[in-house]
Amino acid sequence: MTQLPDSVARNQLSPNIHIRSPLVRSVYQRWVDDERHREDDHQYWYKVDTGRFSSALCEKFIQCNQDAETGQFLDACYEKSDWLFTQIGHSLAKAFLSWFMTSTSINGLLGRGSMFIFSRSQLEQLLGIEMTWKADRLLDLGAGDGMVTKQMSDYFTDVYVTEVARPMIWQLKEKGYKVVGLTDWSKVKTGRTYDLISCLNVLDRCDEPMAMLHDILESLTPRTGRALVAVVLPFKPYVEVGSPDHKPTQLLHVNGRTFEEQTISLINDVFRPAGFTVDRFTRLPYLCEGDLHHSFYSLSDVVFVLKAQPTENG
C-alpha cells in the first residue's frame, strides 16, 4: 500500500484532525475503503431474494459468490491504484482528452479501466460446461479491451469481436481476435453462425437493442447456440456515441424498482418477445479498475444464458 504521511496516519487515530490537501485526503479515503473491502466477502454483490421468483425461475437461478479469481482481480485493482504518479498522470490526461474523446476511447488509449464480470469457474457453471469443453465460434459484442473476452476465448476455436472505440480495436487485434464491423457480424451479412454470442452490458448502451437481440437470435447455431447477456440493474439506457441526447431509438420497457422485479421484466417484456427462453441466470458484480479516488468501481449485473424458444419442428 502507499505509505501515508505521518499527519494522515495520526488522523486515522484522531478523526478531528483535518486533512487540508485534497490529494492526500483522497488517497487516505481510498486507503480506508480498501482496508474495508479487503476484509469483505461482498455477499451483497450476489444476493437475490429468490422468494420473488416463481418456482420454475428459481430452478434456473445459479447462486454465485466471490471466488479466488474475483479476489485476484480486486487485488490487482488495489495494487494499480497505489501507483500514485501513474494515477495522477491518468487523471490529467483524461481531463484533457475528454474534450474530444469518449470515456471508452480514453480508457483504451491509456490502457486503463479493464472490466471483470465472471471468473472461468462461474462461466463454466453458467454454461454447464467443463474446462475441457470446446466449441467452434464465439462472438463477443462490445468486447472493450478484450479482458472479459479472454475469460471465454479458450473454449472456442475462433473468436470474433466487435467494438466501437478505435483504441480498444487496436488492443483486440493485438490479442489475436477477429474484429468485425458493428453491422457486419450477423448471419444475414456473413452466413456465419456462432455457438455462443456474448452481449455483456451492451443492451443499455446501444441505439437499437431489440434489433440487436433479433440479429443475435438469427445468428445462433441452430438448436445448440446460446447467448450470454449481462444487463446492469437498475436499468438506465445511455447511448455514448451517435445519439445527440444519449437516448436510444428503441427503448426497452424494463419495469419494476427492485433487482428481482427488473429481472422478471427483462425475461417477460424483453427476452420472451424477442424469441428467447432463459436457460440459467445469476447476479454478479460488474467490476472496473479504478483510479486515484477508488481502487475499483462496481455495478450490479444480472447475467442470463439464453436459448432460442423451441419451435413446432423442435
CA distance 57 to 200: 21
Q: Which of 79, 85, 216 is nearest to 142 (CA)?
A: 216
Q: Are 308 and 44 in contact (CB under 8 A)?
A: no
Is the residue at 161 inside a domain?
yes
Reported as half-sphere exposure (CB side, CA atoms, 13 A), residue 112 has a value of 23
Q: CB of 177 within 8 A of CB of 149?
A: yes
Residue 243 forms part of a structural domain: yes
Grade residue 207 by pLDDT with cuts at 50, 70 and 90: very high
Contact criterion met (CB below 8 Å) for 291 and 81: yes
User: pLDDT of 4-19, one tens digit each?
Assistant: 344 333 344 344 456 6
Query: Does 153 map to a domain?
Result: yes
Q: What number of residues does the chain have?
A: 314
What integer is the mean pLDDT of 142-158?
Answer: 95
| Rounded Cα gap, residues 314 and 312, in angstroms | 5
Residue 257 lies in domain: 68-308
Q: Residue 57: inside a domain, yes or no?
A: no
Residue 119: which pLDDT band, with cuts at 50, 70 and 90?
very high
279 in any annotated domain: yes
Task: State the amino acid at position 220 in one-letter form.
Answer: L
200 falls within a domain = yes
In this prediction, residue 62 carries a pLDDT of: 98
23 in a structural domain:
no
Is 80 exceeded by the pLDDT of residue 291? no
pLDDT (tens digit per residue) in 162-193: 998 888 899 999 999 999 999 999 999 999 99
Neighbours of 164 (CB within 10 A): 17
Could you tell me if residue 106 is inside a domain?
Answer: yes
Q: Tell me which residue has cell 490502457.
A: 111
- Condensed to tens digits (0 to 9), the pLDDT of residues 87-97 reads 555 566 566 55
138 - beta bridge partners?
159, 196
Global confidence as pTM: 0.85
pLDDT digits (tens, 9 = 90+) for 40-72: 999 999 999 999 999 999 999 999 999 999 999
User: Number of structural domains, the chain?
Assistant: 1
Question: Which residue shows C-alpha cell 478523526?
Answer: 15
Least confident of 117-121, 199-203, 246-250, 310-314: 310-314
Determine the 3-state secondary structure of 30 from DSSP: helix
Provide the CATH number for the domain around residue 228.
3.40.50.150
For residue 54, what is its C-alpha cell?
A: 416463481
